[in-house]
Structure 1
Amino acid sequence: MSQHSELDASPLPPWLGGIWSRLQGARELDRLAHALLICGPAGIGKRRLADALARSLLCRSRDAAGYACGRCPDCRLLEAGNHPDLVRIGPDPDSKSREISVGAVRAFSEHGSLTPSRSDWKVTLIDPADRLNPSAANALLKTLEEPSGQSLMCLVAERLGQLPATIRSRCLQIAVPVPAEDEALAWLRDRLPDPGTDPLLPLRLAQGAPFRALDELDQELFEQRRQRVAGFLAIASGRRDPVAEAALWNGQGAVRMLDWMSGWICDLLRLMAGGDAVRLTNPDQREVFMTLVQRLDPAAGHRFLGRLLECRALADTNVNHLLMLESIAIEWFRVTRGGGPGRD
């Protein structure tokens, strides 16, 4: 169990403004749910929203919009990671499983009934909640069912399906959507280190998530992606051994490669269906993808995309990444030869 994290004192991005206003309205009416489940894709600001809410509840001098002042003694304690009324529960950084253990939840539950030490609220942030192992999730249920006093439990998650229905049903779910592209682009343009950079490609590669786009704004990473696209196409043309290319994929990281490949196949399927006018995740690769459009069977392409998504779901487990990627590379070669996943 950890109580320390750097809390972002800056205002929330505009696409979170509506959710923030509703939360503050519920608070003013004393109708704020005792357990919130803030969910949505990576990089859209879920954690900033949860942190801002925690700061707001613990600050005694918040502004008219409900944001913490950043100057009072409580805010200074928050910045130092020492506020006694904020508890954070997350995976043990020394654990290979990257799960939230039952021990962490039990340690919290033993003290969860305590009244706030100095603030009006006791706030617990569980992040990422979809990393609760089954025993930890069961241990959390009693606390969710029997909240104590002025307490808020806020769970942050990206994979709702990994959370038991018993947990989800006891929380008010707050779905944070991907912002409209125009809104996200305007926000990004003011924050890019190089004003001359076009934010469209980083945003598309980040699947519309602005914070993720900023985190992955790396020219070296863009070049690595370009090389892997070339290798992907070289397998299709028979100029590259699938197993040799899979070794390079493994060096890049299975999660990133599976995300990239899913985007490439989605773009290929879009081009097959809609031609030049379609919106692509990888707009800079339109011309090279067009060279494959006539060679890929749509049904086989959809099956291969399903296979990529299945592997992506396994990539966060202890599966052998290299063997998985080798299998994917061989299947991709077969798909481009008129075969496909599950065919001889």
Structure 2
Amino acid sequence: MSAMTDPGSVRLPPWLDGTWARLRSARDSQRLAHAMVITGPQGVGKRELAEAFARSLLCRARDAEGYACGRCPDCLLLAAGSHPDLTRVGPEPGGKSSEISVGTIRTFSEHESLTPSRADWKIALIDPADRLNPSAANALLKTLEEPSGQTLLCLIAERPGLLPATIRSRCLQINVSIPDESVALEWLGVRLPQSDMDPIIPLRLANGAPLRALAEFDQDLFAHRRQRLEGFIDLASGRRDPVVEAAAWNTQGPARMLDWLSGWVCDLLRLKAVPEAVRLINPDQREAFSRLAERIEPAAGHRFLKRIMESRALADSNLNHSLMLEALAIDWFRLNQRTEPRRY
């Protein structure tokens, strides 16, 4: 979402109305915590929430709903990316590591000790906070324990469990969850590009996260998904070589391909357990998956899903992804030939 470049246009999606109201109330009654951690899955709006709230704190002419006006001098500085009281802390741009280093936190902490330059608050957005390395987390802890003046530290994380308990315990916890599907579909339906595709399909493929569904909507990508689904089904029937199909899987990138695989196998197991299962991740594949489900032995299917999820956890590592996907393709082929897939 790029709306944040124009503060005057910012309006959060409807599923965030309640959270926005609580933050606004805390701000207006001067009960705002000095540190908060905003968590939630990718694409539910936690970054948009943090950004909108930071802008509202720095704006001196907020509108009736508590949003930044987009026109005052502070908002113009925000739009230009040069407001002195908003600091962004994250991994080094272009760096070799995706972690937030201890040097970055120490530099920030020195800056944080200063008072606000022109606004009533000084704000730091630390994103993604779950990428703080252990030394950086320890360095941040001192700042959390001894905040200065009107300072707000806002940590944003999709995997809050990776944050030390000592940090989480010193922050107000704000969780942004997946919205009700009907609300998400209403919001998404008027924003997706014109297409014959039912909006429920990109929404389900994004695990119910509307902003992710919108960001990842790509007709070419959906065409690749159809091709890989055909390969997945052909593997089960023995019409395709698993090594050849694994090579095609690898072209999608291991993370995306493993997400697709886990969704396909989850749907198969749901249909195996309850043939009339209402909610599928891939509702457009109900008929094909119903036929496949007849071939699957449930215990073997669950073991295979477990291996997919274990592989997904390693998708960002330096392991040989080609071999990992090849092993899964072979196991899927063997599972459908009614032979026990090997363990690894």
TM bucket normalised to smaller? over 0.9
Structure 1 residue ranges, 4+ long, deviating more than 6 angstroms after superposition: none
Deviation at 1:130, TM superposition (A): 1.1
Deviation at 1:171, TM superposition (A): 1.2
* Residues 58-105 of structure 1 deviation map (CA, whole Å, 9 limit, x = unaligned): 001011221000000000100100000000011122123211111111
| Structure 2 spans left out of the alignment, 5+ residues | none
Q: Distance in 2 between the 1:146 and 1:241 partners?
A: 61
In structure 1, give the amino acid aligned to 2:141: L
Q: Which moved more, 1:159-168 or 1:58-67?
A: 159-168
1:179 aligns with 2:182: no
Q: Which residue of 2 aligns with 1:282?
A: 282
Q: Which residue of 2 aligns with 1:100?
A: 100
Q: Which residue of 2 aligns with 1:77?
A: 77
Q: Distance in 1 between the 2:297 and 2:196 partners?
A: 39
Pick closer, same or farther for the CA change 1:197–1:325 going to 2, 3 Å: closer
Q: Is the 2:10–2:67 contact (alpha carbons within 8 Å) kept by the matching residues of 1? A: no
Pick closer, same or farther for the CA change 1:52–1:341 going to 2, 3 Å: farther
In structure 2, give the amino acid aligned to 1:110: E
Q: Distance in 1 between the 2:129 and 2:342 partners?
A: 35
| Structure 1 length-normalised TM | 0.94
Q: Distance in 1 between the 2:239 and 2:263 partners?
A: 22
SS at match of 1:276: coil
Q: Which residue of 2 aligns with 1:156?
A: 156
TM alignment of 1:1-344, pairs within 5 A: 6=5, 9-194=9-194, 197-340=197-340, 342-343=342-343
How many residues of Structure 1 are paired with residues of Structure 2 in the alignment? 340
Q: Distance in 2 between the 1:341 and 1:143 partners?
A: 51
In structure 2, give the amino acid aligned to 1:275: P
Deviation at 1:196, TM superposition (A): 5.7
Deviation at 1:331, TM superposition (A): 2.1
| Structure 1 spans left out of the alignment, 5+ residues | none
| Structure 2 length-normalised TM | 0.94
* Residues 20-51 of structure 1 deviation map (CA, whole Å, 9 limit, x = unaligned): 00011111221111111111111111110000
SS at match of 2:276: helix
Q: Distance in 1 between the 2:253 and 2:224 partners?
A: 12
Q: Distance in 2 between the 1:126 and 1:321 partners?
A: 31
- What is the root-mean-square deviation of aligned Cα atoms in Å? 1.7
Deviation at 1:340, TM superposition (A): 4.6
Q: Distance in 2 between the 1:10 and 1:176 partners?
A: 18
Q: Is the 2:122–2:152 contact (alpha carbons within 8 Å) kept by the matching residues of 1? A: yes
Q: Is the 1:270–1:278 contact (alpha carbons within 8 Å) kept by the matching residues of 2? A: no
Q: Tell me the percent identity.
A: 68
Pick closer, same or farther for the CA change 1:297–1:32 going to 2, 3 Å: same
Q: Is the 1:189–1:195 contact (alpha carbons within 8 Å) kept by the matching residues of 2? A: no
In structure 2, give the amino acid aligned to 1:117: S
Q: Distance in 1 between the 2:335 and 2:197 partners?
A: 36
Pick closer, same or farther for the CA change 1:125–1:343 going to 2, 3 Å: closer
Q: Distance in 2 between the 1:19 and 1:218 partners?
A: 30
Q: Is the 1:332–1:340 contact (alpha carbons within 8 Å) kept by the matching residues of 2? A: no
